[in-house]
Chains A and B, each alone.
Chain A
């Protein structure tokens, strides 16, 4: 009961804080855009016999992930450059 009470208190406080934010609803265009994207990508996926679309998707995802990793590394280097312990400027 103690753990449950703590979890309840924590979630309640968090919910209360979140409830202070303005209430939004999911815009309608998101669903339509998602549906359109699904249709378009389904059509693109049907081209897999002509072109390795699946491999293309994978490669684009890998490149994007690598870019994100590089972005994190850059941020880390910039933050580290402000430490007195050392580290050079990333700029």
Chain B
């Protein structure tokens, strides 16, 4: 009967445990969270580069060489430009006579300042000599543009024109005047030419206060441009450059390794013409959380965000309370007492040569209770954390006395006569003359000196730690300690344990391994909560009952009692 009852109970326990675990696995699977990858830092998009807006003007002109020549029907003064397809005879004058050299007209240049125009001078002859002249011929048609563009709404009027004939072709020269939108008029320095029906030219205007404008192309073989005004083509105002920001998002994790909040920092705005990205002010995680993975994103107004790169999880241990922001943990020098307890040592200066009676512990502030303990650190951390060596004589720890070194007793207490001898009215009490010296003598003789005893015990402990049984005990303690310190308390997070691993990248463009962190047993959903609410108490109860049954069975069988817990009437589960 008992065998049957025991087997049914054991079977039920196993069934409940396995069923709950299986259901938990089914619920938890697939709800893991995969994230994080280590990708190379990106290069800035080309759109961030400043656009090239500079317009090269023809300034490579030897201004010491004036140009004079004939334009069609009449000779022009120095500085007169030649019209298209009009043969010009030029004469070099001026400073050229001061130096012997070789000269050749390479460019025609006209205009002034920003409206300086240039065209290659083809067919020019070369002149070598000092003072003299040479001639060249401007051949071919030309088209020129200007870099200045006027505002929308401005118009142009061809104020005057004159005509001459060369080779049977009519030539016109017109000087446009721009009627600016603000009511003013500007005579354009450029002169436009229309010749023999195949001239194409572009003139530029520059109204007051106009930084930018538009081009106006004159293409009028029939000379209809004369008499204007002609409205400028309406060119919409240039769209403002898109504004960008750089956002940094740091995932702040709680003590279970789950993201509890985000610390977001956003830089100042900048556009494509900005050569450097403004600094981003730091936005730390709140106290008590651990900074985890960071994501840097470029945001553009009106466009979707562009992730730039991710900083992998710094791999801080969430279970370590000193990993949390604001923990205030610092490396602290500690010394073991005679009772085996480690206490802060505020007197000695940390040194890497210290023996085993000292250690460097990562401790939180003493004012915070319970005090945070981040575990042991290398002694070098305490040395580095010490701001400056303590110059006092107690800066270096006193060396532990060697085994069986001679014992040097302390000198007898020197008394000023007030503690070991009566004083005041006690001088007249004979008992005081016996009692006080006796107490002093007995105290000196039999009350142990705590410092000396602590030193002796520390020496003994150090010696013991180096013996084989001491090493065995220490090893056993180190192996058992995780069981006592890692026992969970209360209900853990529904995400379950975090499993991290790396997988090779399948992309040749990102050869770095991907870091994957998942919660394979996550039960953060309604079904998981239901399983937890109903099965957790049941499993707890089953464990307690099974433990009670096993303990009772072990103890009763040991003392030979025949109880219902014993399967065969006694003697089972004997520890021997």
Give the interface of A toward B (CB within 8 A). 1-5, 7-9, 11-16, 18-19, 21-27, 30-31, 33-34, 37-38, 41-59, 61-63, 66-71, 73-75
| A16, B403: Cβ atoms closer than 8 Å | yes
Q: A24-B468, A66-B550 are in contact. Are A38 and B459 (CB under 8 A)?
A: no
- Asked if B256 is an interface residue, CB under 8 A from chain A, the answer is yes
Q: A5-B407, A26-B471, A49-B532 are in contact. Are A54 and B488 (CB under 8 A)?
A: yes
| A48, B447: Cβ atoms closer than 8 Å | no
Shortest Cβ-Cβ A-B pairs, 4 listed: A48-B492, A41-B486, A46-B497, A45-B488
- Asked if B496 is an interface residue, CB under 8 A from chain A, the answer is yes
Q: A1-B445, A67-B554 are in contact. Are A34 and B478 (CB under 8 A)?
A: yes
Q: Which residues of B have CB within 8 Å of A37? A: 479, 482-483, 486
Identity of the chain B residue whose Cβ is nearest the Cβ of A68 in the assembled complex: B575
Q: Specify which of B319, B464, B492, B498 lies most central, judged by the most chain A CB atoms within 10 Å of its CB.
A: B492
| A59, B407: Cβ atoms closer than 8 Å | no
Chain A contact residues: helix, strand, loop or mixed: helix
- Asked if B574 is an interface residue, CB under 8 A from chain A, the answer is yes
Give the interface of B toward A (CB within 8 A). 17, 20-21, 24, 28, 256, 319, 403-405, 407, 409-410, 444-449, 452-453, 456-457, 459-460, 463-464, 466-471, 474-475, 478-479, 481-483, 485-499, 521, 523, 531-532, 536, 539-540, 543-544, 546-547, 550-551, 554-555, 557-559, 573-576
Q: Which residues of B have CB within 8 Å of A67? A: 554, 573, 575
| B466, A50: Cβ atoms closer than 8 Å | no
Q: A46-B493, A51-B20, A51-B21 are in contact. Are A34 and B539 (CB under 8 A)?
A: no
A24 to B493, CA, bound (A): 43
A86 to B427, CA, bound (A): 67
Q: A2-B445, A42-B486 are in contact. Are A26 and B459 (CB under 8 A)?
A: no
Closest Cβ of chain A: how far from B5's Cβ, in Å?
20
Q: A26-B471, A45-B486, A70-B558 are in contact. Are A9 and B407 (CB under 8 A)?
A: yes
| A15, B479: Cβ atoms closer than 8 Å | no
| B547, A62: Cβ atoms closer than 8 Å | yes
A71 to B576, CA, bound (A): 7
| A8, B481: Cβ atoms closer than 8 Å | no
| B453, A7: Cβ atoms closer than 8 Å | yes
| A8, B456: Cβ atoms closer than 8 Å | yes
| B488, A53: Cβ atoms closer than 8 Å | yes
Q: Which residues of A have CB within 8 Å of B539? A: 51-52, 55
Q: Which residues of A have CB within 8 Å of B575? A: 67-68, 70-71, 74
